[in-house]
């Protein structure tokens, strides 16, 4: 192995070790990965990209051990109608913005889907359904990634600025931030109660990718005379999250181990954000075009401000 690669490996290992010592929080984890990738280059990008998603999913499941089912149900009920209305607004407003700006139809659909539901995961699920090309998928995911990174730092600051309660911020983060990673990351910086509410509300929001992809598949099939187009990646880890909450609720002996599992889950969250940041490249920045970026930013601002106003009036 070349000396330069050994040096970069040592830096990456150091960053990973810092996550286990809790010297890195969610924001610093993402920032550390970004700085590492953009300054030194990440020769281990295949590894970090491969494990970022699974570690995040395992961490979300681990957070489920910190919630009982009664709390989980209450959090879900509190935000369900606001979640549905936010998704409907984001989809319709996003597609309208894309048309007004002259953004490619498939790219506009991917950006709108990613903003309304669960960021990169929704884009990855929708892309083959509508027949989007690789470049359209990469551009939309890159834009969402950048906005996620911004949200991770800006949302907690705005939450304190508007003096939001733990419940208000958790709900706002779940509705206004794209990816689960940044939702959970921002909420973890705000407080324990915000983290619980944000996690449960976001997972309910993520489940909407199933009917959305099915609907898109039916539309594409009818318009192109094809059948059986949809291939849905169902987020099964959400059901494991509920199972973990059930164990906490109904298995008294689990109380001895659940705090440790939740602790590991929080470490895993930071580690996943570190790996996500390490997957960013300068080439991704060069692929960005002004029109889809404007569409994504304006849509995100509309969703963020609209959901915040709705929450403040609850």
102-133 pLDDT, tens digit each: 999 999 999 999 999 888 888 888 888 888 88
CA 300/CA 43 separation, integer angstroms: 32
| pLDDT, position 183 | 94
Residues 259 and 70 sit within 8 Å (Cβ to Cβ): no
The string of pLDDT tens digits covering residues 27-68 is 889 999 999 998 999 999 999 989 998 998 899 899 989 888
Mean pLDDT of 168-189: 93
The string of pLDDT tens digits covering residues 192-249 is 999 999 999 998 888 888 788 788 777 766 665 555 455 556 667 888 988 999 999 9
Average pLDDT score, the chain: 88
Whole-model pTM? 0.84
Nearest to 37 by CA among 48, 26, 27: 48
Would you state the structure tokens that stand for residue 88, as one six-digit string? Answer: 């409907």
Residues 278 and 42 sit within 8 Å (Cβ to Cβ): yes
């Amino acid at each position: 192995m070349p000396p330069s690669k050994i040096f970069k490996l040592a830096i990456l290992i150091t960053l990973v070790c810092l996550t286990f010592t809790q010297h890195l929080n969610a924001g610093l984890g993402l920032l550390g990965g970004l700085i590492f990738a953009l300054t030194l280059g990440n020769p281990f990008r295949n590894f970090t990209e491969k494990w970022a998603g699974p570690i995040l999913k395992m961490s979300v499941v681990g957070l489920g051990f910190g919630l009982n089912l009664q709390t989980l149900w209450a959090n879900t009920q509190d935000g369900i109608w606001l979640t549905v209305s936010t998704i409907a607004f984001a989809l319709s407003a996003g597609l309208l913005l894309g048309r007004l700006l002259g953004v490619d139809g498939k790219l506009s659909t991917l950006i709108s889907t990613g903003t309304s539901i669960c960021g990169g995961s929704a884009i990855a699920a929708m892309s083959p359904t509508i027949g989007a090309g690789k470049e359209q998928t990469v551009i939309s995911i890159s834009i969402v990634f950048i906005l996620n990174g911004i949200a991770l730092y800006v949302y907690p600051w705005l939450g304190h600025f508007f003096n939001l309660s733990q419940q208000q911020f958790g709900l706002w983060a779940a509705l206004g931030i794209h990816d689960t990673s940044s939702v959970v990351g921002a909420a973890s910086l705000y407080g324990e109660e915000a983290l619980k509410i944000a996690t449960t509300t976001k997972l309910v929001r993520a489940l909407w990718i199933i009917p959305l992809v099915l609907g898109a598949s039916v539309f594409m099939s009818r318009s192109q005379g094809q059948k059986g187009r949809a291939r849905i990646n169902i987020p099964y880890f959400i059901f494991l999250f509920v199972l973990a909450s059930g164990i906490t609720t109904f298995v008294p002996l689990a109380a001895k181990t659940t705090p440790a599992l939740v602790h590991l889950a929080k470490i895993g969250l930071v580690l996943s954000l570190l790996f996500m940041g390490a997957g960013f490249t300068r080439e991704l920045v060069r692929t960005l075009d002004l029109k889809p970026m404007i569409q994504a930013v304006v849509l995100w601002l509309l969703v963020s401000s609209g959901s915040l106003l709705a929450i403040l009036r609850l």
